[in-house]
Amino acid sequence: MTIANQVAAPPHVEEHAAPRAPFIAEHFEGAEHQFESGKLGMWIFLVTEILFFSGMFCAYAVYRSQHPEIFSYASQFLDSTMGGINTVVLICSSLTAAWSVRCAQLGQRKGLILTLALTILGAFGFLGIKYVEYSHKFHDGLLPGKYYHVQSEAVADVGLDASIPAATEGESHEAAPEPAHDSGHAPVEGPEPANVKIFFGIYFAMTGVHGLHVIIGIGVYVWLLVRAIKGHFRPDYYGPVDFTALYWHLVDLIWIFLFPLLYLIH
Amino acid sequence: MSHEEHAAGGAHVMSPKVLLGIWGALIFLTALTVWSAQHDLGRIDLVVAMGIATIKASLVALYFMHLRYDKGFHGVVIIGALVFVFLFVSMVLLDRNQYQADIDARTIELEAR
């Protein structure tokens, strides 16, 4: 429809302009144009997210390549069972997010509400487990930088020799008794390497920023759930569900790399 | 997937079979990476762990994020980003020993106090 047509035949304008669907902004040609624009914008946002996280992955790579002993020692203090459960929780949440896109595309309102609610539930499950892990770390003094003050019980819990003082305390290295071997996994022998606090700096920075993304995701999903209950989404308008799911999958992707890099160091 | 469903505008709809299949594969690979971490694989353990994570990431991106059925341009955008991540991390790693001598000197200085 050119401007010339509009000017030449004003009565036809009404016929050509179909009633505009709700939530389609004026500056888009139509639902598809709006969806494609939003999707491209979301992918570009995800690129900035990947580049942003890559800064922390880069710090990780440099510290680990320079000080592998810190990572293999400190990783033993992380609970790989909890980390593994959290990975599964996040994958399940990713599944329900992907399913919510399907429901929205097919106009299944009840299914959409259910899958959105399950996605939020998964996110809360993840944060709950993360909270338990963080409180253990705080209790055991496994904290970044100057706040690092590992408790001897925590060292004993992972099968290390608690009688060896933390290197940061600078006490003498007296003849230590044999390390306990009764725990399931093989402990690193010998005293604690210097600068273990660096590992916990990286651990809290990476999982903390990731956790912040989970919290933001919950906020967006609650908004989607409210709109889904109001019946806003339809097969020709489901962009917000699709784009939020892309964000949620990226949060899952980052955890997929964080889990082996932090918890599963041999 | 004998009959592929399509939403308005021709967007691809993931079938429940594919969604559940990818979910199962992701759970299996998570179990595999936990299992492999319990065995001493020597120097290749990081390669194995990152290889499994990359396969999982690819499954999420291609199916959950619809990249396989999406416009090629979105794939170009994301692969472009990963190329820059690779350049960023590898360039920094090449340079990582640059200041080690300074760090060692400072460490000795601090210990002497």
pLDDT digits (tens, 9 = 90+) for A114-152: 999 999 999 999 999 999 999 999 888 888 888 888 887
Q: Judge: B57–A253 Cβ closer than 8 Å, yes or no.
A: yes
Question: Is A252 among the domain residues?
Answer: yes
Question: Is A178 among the domain residues?
Answer: no
- What's the total number of domains in chain A? 1
B16: left (phi over 0), alpha (psi -120 to 50) or beta: alpha
**Count of other CB atoms within 10 angstroms of residue A202:** 22
The reply to whether A56 touches chain B by the CB within 8 Å rule is no
- The pLDDT tens digits for A46-90 are 999 999 999 999 999 999 998 999 998 898 899 999 999 999 999
Question: Is A95 among the domain residues?
Answer: yes
**Confidence band, pLDDT 50/70/90 cuts, at residue A190:** low
CA count, 13 A, side-chain hemisphere, A229? 8
Per-residue tokens: B95 = 């340079």
Question: Is A181 among the domain residues?
Answer: no
**Confidence band, pLDDT 50/70/90 cuts, at residue A252:** very high
Q: Residue A195 burial by CB count (10 A; 0-12/13-18/19+): exposed, middle or buried?
A: middle
Contacts of A75 in chain B (CB under 8 A): none
DSSP, collapsed to helix, strand or coil, labels residue B11 as: coil
Q: What is the pLDDT of residue A148?
A: 86
CA count, 13 A, side-chain hemisphere, A63? 22
Question: Is A63 among the domain residues?
Answer: yes
Q: Judge: A249–B64 Cβ closer than 8 Å, yes or no.
A: yes
Q: Judge: A105–B7 Cβ closer than 8 Å, yes or no.
A: yes
User: Higher-confidence residue: B80 or A266?
Assistant: B80
Measure B53 CA to nearest chain A CA, in Å.
6
What CATH code is carried by the domain that includes residue A150?
A: 1.20.120.80
User: Higher-confidence residue: A15 or A193?
Assistant: A193
Q: Judge: B64–A97 Cβ closer than 8 Å, yes or no.
A: yes
**Count of other CB atoms within 10 angstroms of residue B107:** 12
Question: Dihedral, CA atoms, A158, A159, A162, A163, nearest 10 degrees?
Answer: -170
Contacts of B45 in chain A (CB under 8 A): 266
User: Higher-confidence residue: A185 or A96?
Assistant: A96
CA count, 13 A, side-chain hemisphere, A99? 24
Question: Is A177 among the domain residues?
Answer: no
Mutate: best of A35, A75, A249, partner B, most B CBs <10 A: A249
* Angle at CA of residue A17, ends A16 and A21, nearest 5°: 140
The beta-carbon neighbor of A102 closest among B14, B49, B80 is: B14
Question: Is A200 among the domain residues?
Answer: yes
Q: What is the pLDDT of residue A266?
A: 76
Per-residue tokens: A240 = 């917000």
Question: For chain A, what's the residue count?
Answer: 266
Q: Judge: A266–B61 Cβ closer than 8 Å, yes or no.
A: no
Contacts of B64 in chain A (CB under 8 A): 94-95, 97-98, 245, 249, 252
Domain residues for A153? 34-167+188-263
The reply to whether A264 touches chain B by the CB within 8 Å rule is yes
A18 has a pLDDT exceeding 70: no
Question: Is A9 among the domain residues?
Answer: no
The beta-carbon neighbor of B40 closest among A54, A238, A266 is: A266
Which of A125-163 are b and which e, b meaning 16 or more Cβ less than 10 Å from the residue's Cβ? bbbebbeebbebbeebebbbeeebebebebbeebbbbbe
Q: What is the pLDDT of residue A195?
A: 84
The beta-carbon neighbor of B23 closest among A44, A51, A91 is: A91
ipTM, 2 dp: 0.89
**Rounded-to-integer distance, Cα A197 and Cα A178, Å:** 25
Q: Judge: B88–A66 Cβ closer than 8 Å, yes or no.
A: no
CB < 8 Å from B in window 223-262 of A: 235-236, 238, 245-246, 249-250, 252-253, 256-257, 259-261
Listing DSSP states for chain A in one string gives: --HHHHHH-HHHHHHHSPPPPTT--TTSSSHHHHHHHHHHHHHHHHHHHHHHHHHHHHHHHHHHHH-HHHHHHHGGGS-HHHHHHHHHHHHHHHHHHHHHHHHHHHT-HHHHHHHHHHHHHHHHHHHHHHHHHHHHHHHTT--SGGG----HHHHHHTT--TTSPPGGGT-----PPPPP--SSSPPPPSSPPTTTHHHHHHHHHHHHHHHHHHHHHHHHHHHHHHHHHTT--BTTB-HHHHHHHHHHHHHHHHHHHHHHHHH---
